[in-house]
Amino acid sequence: MDDQHIRQMAAAMRRKILDISLACNTSVHLGGGLSMVDILATLYGRVLQFDSKNPAWEDRDRFILSKGHGVLGFFSALVVSGTISEDEFSTFMTNGSHLIAHPVMNLSLGIESSNGSLGQGLSMGIGLALAALKKDKSHKIYVMLGNGECNEGSVWEAAISAAHYKLKNLVAIVDHNGLQSDGRSEVVMDFGDFADKWKSFGWDVHLIDGHDVNAIHNALIHPNRGDRPKAIIAQTIKGKGVTFMENANEWHHNRLTKANYDKALLEMEGQ
């Protein structure tokens, strides 16, 4: 797919996020799901090696959503890419559904890992990447983290391990929207130069605009420098695509009313 098709895919994903948020009639994590849409559209539309009809294909690339609360961005990518059906997606947050507020491992649906508690996904990604290298496999492991999630010490234990083991098949993508549940990230925990932190742990770091699909694509396909794992620090806007949600932390977790849905839809249709 070219850039225009990826933008169309991202627009379709944002529409699906709004539709299912209204349909489930409860509070959901909207802001952090919307901020990662362009990244996941690029990943699933142009980069990730997978078979939507055979999600457990042994040689597939693996994607792990470590920031599990961003699940609406993830599920919308799975449905737009044809990995899960519209009928399956429509069950979100209903009794007995496989699709709930955080991902639950289900390879038949393309969900590689369960993630609710923050700071766990990168460690799992390291295990998968290390196993792939030992088996001389060529697939890659992609892990999506949130900038607030990086307050967890387990993230940095994992980061130094990945560099130590020279995991050149591992890519960490940080959805750096500058906000987290408790407020602005630099107020909650000031990391200073965030990209520099990853560099100091031995990673090959790329700092990009997380809504520029060409920049996202170039960073994803750029060969890792040496045997270092790659970290893509994607600067994003929380709630991207819906003006009244953008950089508005009340939409970290909130219920979408019909009035707000109509307002958001009118805006999207005018773009």
Contact present, 94 and 117 (Cβ < 8 Å): no
* CA angle, residues 134, 216, 75, in degrees to nearest 5: 75
Domain ranges for the chain: 3-269
Class of domain 3-269: alpha beta
What is residue 271's predicted lDDT score, i.e. its pLDDT?
Answer: 66
pLDDT at 1 over 80: yes
- pLDDT, one tens digit per residue, over 205-257 is 999 999 999 999 999 999 888 899 999 999 999 999 999 999 999 999 999 99
Task: Read off the pLDDT of residues 99-125 as tens digits, 9 standing for 90 and up.
Answer: 999 999 999 999 999 998 999 999 999
Q: pLDDT at position 149, please?
A: 96
Q: Is the pTM of this model over 0.95?
A: yes
Distance CA 16, CA 9 (A): 11
